[in-house]
Amino acid sequence: MKVYSAIVQIFEWSRKHRKGSITLEHVVLFPVFILLSLIVWQLILSGIAVMDTNAALRDAVRVASTTGDTDEAEEQGKDSFGQTGSYKLKSLDVKIENDEAIAKAKVEIPILFMASTPFTFETEKKAPVLHSPNYYYAGFPGNGPLGPVALGNGQLGYPTANMIITSSFGYRIHPIYGTRKLHAGIDIGGRFGDPIFAAEDGIVAYAGPSSGYGNIIVIDHGGGLYTVYAHMYSNQIQVIPGQHVKRGDKIAEIGNAGGSTGPHLHFEVRHGGYPRGANPGTPVDPLPYLSGS
């Protein structure tokens, strides 16, 4: 209490005898305010660095677990981390051990309120490596081993060699958003990088980004019939708008872009238009077109 009383007396004396705007309160409180501001900014900066690191590891593990390519995974992780002058990605290493993808990262974060070396934040993420499924026809006539290109026996050919359908056409609970929505196509399981084929002769109407779909290809087959191929990464698209394609031509590779929980092809059939056009067309169940029934 004596110390508290002494402090109060000093402030009272300063208030009564101050000259101009500089007082003891300003002299004492201003440095404290600066220090507290630096501490708050230090916490914010550290939090942002941790989030960027986790995002980089998440993308690196995803690529490694789906492709098995650790070099590509490291590049993807570094791209996701981005560039900043506030903190530095010191290292990012990806390896595969015992069928598990492991990504580790070190980040240097500067200390703002003292002259000191940056402190290092280290963390890691893991994910199981996805193995290739055995390729077979699922739910179509003539089940058996596949050739390099599966043309199919319906009005439309199979868009992938692996016709394992993981989600059918119709209303469902969306796996990411948790709401009941129309699934406007079918999902076909596969590995990252597996080939995607044109389902029929036609002209590429669109090839590029589309919200929720990642990147898509739309092929106009004439007569108001369109097919849509979704969730590729931009560098996996191998056709351009206006290009003529034949049934069975390779047009892209399976990816995991947009609202996707794992590598697969989302395949749609639409009448009268396509999603990127002024008239989005009417989505219909692709299975009868593929099976010939």
Q: Do residues 162 and 154 touch, judged by C-beta distance below 8 A?
A: no
Give per-residue pLDDT as tens, 155-168: 899 999 877 888 88
Contacts 24+ apart (CB under 8 A), 74-80: 77/103, 77/105, 80/52, 80/55, 80/56
> 165-291 in CATH: which number?
2.70.70.10
In this predicted structure, what is the pLDDT of residue 58? Answer: 80
Query: For residue 216, which of 202, 234, 203 has the smallest C-alpha distance?
Result: 234
Give per-residue pLDDT as tens, 232-247: 999 999 999 999 999 9
Query: For residue 290, which of 188, 220, 195 has the smallest C-alpha distance?
Result: 188
In this predicted structure, what is the pLDDT of residue 280? Answer: 82
CA atoms of 283 and 227, how far apart (whole Å) = 10
* Ranges 41-45, 214-218, 262-266: which has the least confidence: 41-45
Query: For domain 2-128, which CATH number applies: 1.10.3470, 1.20.1260, 3.30.1300, 2.40.50?
Result: 3.30.1300
CA atoms of 169 and 167, how far apart (whole Å) = 7
Q: 118 pLDDT band (50/70/90 cuts)?
A: confident
Q: Do residues 90 and 120 touch, judged by C-beta distance below 8 A?
A: yes
Break the chain into its structural domains and give their ranges.
Answer: 2-128, 165-291
Q: 109 pLDDT band (50/70/90 cuts)?
A: confident
Q: Do residues 269 and 281 touch, judged by C-beta distance below 8 A?
A: no
**Identical topology for domains 2-128 and 165-291:** no
pTM of the model: 0.50
Highest mean predicted confidence (pLDDT) among 17-21, 181-185, 265-269: 265-269
Q: What percent of the chain has pLDDT over 90?
A: 22
Q: Which residue has the higher pLDDT, 204 or 119?
A: 204
In this predicted structure, what is the pLDDT of residue 110? Answer: 80
Token representation of residue 254: 């399976």
